[in-house]
Chain A
Amino acid sequence: MIALVFAGLVAVLMASATYLILQRHAVRMVLGLGLFTHAVNLLLFGTSVSHRGLPPIIADKAAFNGDISQFVDPLPQALILTAIVISFGIVAFLIALLHRRNSLEAIGESCTDRRNDPFAKQAPATLEREEEDYEWLEDVVLLKQLDKPKGRR
């Protein structure tokens, strides 16, 4: 019964996360990814919920008699603990990436289309594009040097 509740929750979280990720919208993608990690963590956690028990902490080590049936399964918890931290790292990185993309958009580089995709079905004249990319890069580097206020740094 409790497994059904968990499965239903995982299903809804996964479906909404997928729906968000599939939208061509960066912000929604980040939100979707966050939702997906919750779903996967709960999926893992579901393996240990049918057997209820105490938190897997041995309060008195000296008196511990090897009776582990009182505890819940500690292994999924250990795995999820790692997963939470790593997914936070990824989401944080994605947010930084989003921020960076936004600042590029402010100088006119459009990132939303698929012209930069070398495998796109209608591949544009990629060679020309590449050359322009480099020119642009040189401009930016040049600008950085120009912009540097004298005396600072």
Chain B
Amino acid sequence: MLTPFLLLLLLSGPALWLLRPHRWGHAGWLAALSPALVTGWLLTQLGAVGNGQVLTEQRVWSDAFGLALDLRLDGLGLFFGLIVAGIGTAIAVYAGYYFEKNSRLGYFYALLFTFMTSMLGLVWADNLLALFVFWEGTSITSYLLISFKLTDKNALEGARRAFVVTGMGALAMLGGFVLLGQMAGTYSISGLLALPAATLTQHALFTPMLVLVLLGAFTKSAQFPFHFWLPGAMAAPTPASAYLHSATMVKAGVYLLARLHPAFAESPLWFWALFVVGGLTMLVGAVIALRHYDLKAILAYATVSQLGVLVMLLAFNTKVAVTAAVVGILAHALYKGPLFMVAGIVDHATGTRDIRKLAGLARSLPLVGAAAILAGVSMAGIIPTFGFVAKELLLENFFALIEAGQSQLGWIGLVAVVLTGALFVAYSLILLWEAFLRRSSPLKQATVHHAPSTLFVLPVLALTIVGALIPFFFSAIEGALFGSAGSAILGATLEPHLALWHGWTPIFLTSLLAIALGALVFTQREGIRKLFAKAPEFKGQTVFDSAVDALYGVARWSTRTVQGSSFPTQISIPLLAAAGFAAFALRHNFIADLRVDWSAVPTFYEVVLPLLAVVAALAIARAQSRLSAIISLGLVGSVVMLIYVFFSAPDLALTQFLVEVLTLVLLVFVFYRIPNHAYPKPPKHRSLKYLLISLVVGAWGFSMALLAAGEPLAQSISEYFSLNATAAHGGNIVNVILVDFRGFDTLGEISVMVVAALGGYALLRASRLRPVKPDKKYKEPPHA
């Protein structure tokens, strides 16, 4: 059933595009049908998959090459699939209203559904390479979605940044996957995870492989120092931001880490990389979120921070950490998605997203305000929300660490988490208070001029309410949803017992401390913002942009040096480079390689004829008249022909003879019609330079010829040709090679001749444009 659903989603995008949804109102509800269907089906599988069943599916593409699409639905795949399809349903409805009468709505849907297909394929794929293909599918659709507004320069640059950063990461990851496949002997993910962990972690290539795979996961999930692309991606239309850049795509990295967790979690490198990078991202994201005033920018940095939390949690190989990660993923999707959508509605209604200009939206837009407050409280992690549960589990992880004896690590983590938690509380409060609750704003206040319809707000409210209700139904879903997903991450059975209220435990008190700290920051926000405005900011974006500029600079410089001068310079660079490379390759065993076989003594003619050719060649180079040069060239050709005769190559001699005559005739005919301009002689130093270059090239030819005549470097295939010529019903081996064994080469040769003939014909015909009337003659431009 998995492939049909992927196909359904993939096709419904273009189908919607063709139906031109912007012409009919409420198109979003129709668009939401297919993701809703997938969500519904996934919900029916909850029971079975929760009991440990795994759905597998194989679609053979090419049996001979062993290519097949392997899909596998286990607890983790189901969990992520529900997030992707469920939030996708809400986004599909929301986008219908967001774009209202915009004629590009159909295009947006086509991209959105392609993305959804890629994302579902990504979480269901059971093959590393298939996973990579789907992974790149999300990158490309994301690129197209960010650059949706084609006239917005910011959007185009943001899209490019996002694509380059995630694309480079993905390439690194592909390298890692290949290494991993070689190490494990299989590209199947389930087969890989079934191996004993030590076979991978003890392997010599483990470290480079892990670094490459982690690069992919970290860039995709916007981990420090690659976090800068995510806020830049906010130039995408809000439905795309809400979906790709908060709820689903950025979690692809987290998904990959979770998926590979059982195989790698025992390695110390895994632990430290995830712990340090995730922890730094968590802190950096939370701090930067405070400096911004744009609703979407605040939410984007909050997302960066939350992704850091998830990555950090996956560093641990304990039940608590895995439970915290799973709950955190769902909680984040269920509050960040709605908050982004709220930002879009606010933008729609007031025309601005700057929280300094907003005030009192909860009164003018009560439904939106309600959704925002519900989701915002969850983001702050205040009881009794889903976000609160997630934060409690996060704290519990570090308390457990301290109890287990790793107190140093535990305390560091605890302090970082409390600080981050306080910042979460602070910017959640700032956002809610300044945009929705306070009576007036300090700046010119934006007013609601375009109230959203209730149906527009409905998907937002629905998601928020689901998020708000989940904590009250923990006992019903904890096993099937969190338990089965967590078991897949842990590689062992996980039976979480979640509850809203554990009593007055130290964890709860720490949680209160974080909230109190956050409230303190909230009251001091003006001062802190002023402080931030003075402090310098690390701008990965600037670093990235200057790197790109430098790349362009190098391209310009190299093009200019290699190609930017006169033709002689351009042509001598590759010639000298070839000579240089040959000299480099031969420098060690020049004499050894250039073995001369003294036994093959040439006959009298075989010395005289080459001498003749040498004289003729020098005569061409020194010739003053064109006719003598042409005749000398003919002489060289004749000598070459005779050499072919002497050394038993009759076919070559014949061909050479024909070609020589033709060339001569052509040259004489054409040159006869071209007036003999007296070109100025090049200055002496330039002639000397050319002479020097020529000598170097000559020396190169000399060594190449000696090398070729010596011991064969590789085994020749000519014996095979000679022995099998009669099998091809031919006596002339050269002809058999050309026509039978290397027929495609000959076909290519014929095509070259046809192209040259056509080109020559066109050129000769075009010259009939003459004569030109004198008054219409092309005038030299004045600056010539």
Contacts and interface: CB of A to CB of B under 8 A. Distances in A.
B757 interface: yes
B499 interface: no
Given A22-B568, A42-B643, A99-B764, 9 more contacts: A5-B607, A7-B703, A8-B610, A38-B640, A43-B704, A78-B734, A78-B737, A90-B756, A121-B560
A109 to B, nearest CB: 6
B596 A4 contact: yes
Contacts of A98: 670, 674
A121 B559 CA distance: 11
A133 B577 CA distance: 36
A57 B647 CA distance: 13
Contacts of A80: 649, 652
Interface majority SS (helix, strand, loop, mixed), chain A: helix
B626 interface: yes
Interface stretch (B244-252, B356-364, B766-774): B766-774
Contacts of B560: 119, 121
Nearest to B565: A121
Nearest to B600: A2
Contact of A107 (B617, B679, B778): B778
B641 to A, nearest CB: 10
Contacts of A17: 617
Contacts of B693: 18, 22
Interface majority SS (helix, strand, loop, mixed), chain B: helix
A125 B783 CA distance: 9
Interface stretch (B227-235, B402-410, B473-481, B741-749): B741-749
A11 B709 CA distance: 14
A4 B636 CA distance: 18
Nearest to B614: A12
Given A3-B709, A68-B723, A121-B564, A41 B596 contact: no
Interface string A63-102: 0101010011111011011101110111111011111101
B564 A85 contact: no
B202 interface: no
B718 A75 contact: yes
14 contacts: A1-B596, A2-B601, A14-B694, A17-B617, A21-B568, A22-B693, A27-B629, A28-B629, A81-B651, A81-B738, A85-B659, A102-B675, A119-B563, A124-B783
B674 A92 contact: no
Interface of A: 1-25, 27-28, 30-31, 34-35, 38-39, 41-50, 52-59, 61, 64, 66, 68, 71-75, 77-78, 80-82, 84-86, 88-93, 95-100, 102-103, 106-110, 114-115, 117, 119-121, 124-125, 128-129, 132, 136, 139-140, 142-144, 146
A27 to B, nearest CB: 6
A39 B571 CA distance: 17
Contacts of A59: 731
A68 B701 contact: no
B675 to A, nearest CB: 8
B694 A16 contact: yes
A42 to B, nearest CB: 7
Nearest to B637: A38
Interface string B352-380: 00000000000000000000000000000
Given A11-B701, A13-B636, A71-B722, A77 B671 contact: no
Specify which of A14, A35, A73, A124 lies most central, judged by the most chain B CB atoms within 10 Å of its CB. A14
Contacts of B760: 92-93, 95-96
Contacts of B671: 27
B753 A89 contact: yes
B278 to A, nearest CB: 47
Contact of B705 (A6, A27, A57, A68): A6
Specify which of B606, B734, B767, B779 lies most central, judged by the most chain A CB atoms within 10 Å of its CB. B734
A61 B732 CA distance: 10
A14 B773 CA distance: 45
A16 to B, nearest CB: 4
Interface in B377-406: none
Contacts of A18: 572, 575, 690, 693-694, 697-698
A47 B667 contact: no
Interface in B549-579: 559-560, 563-568, 571-572, 575
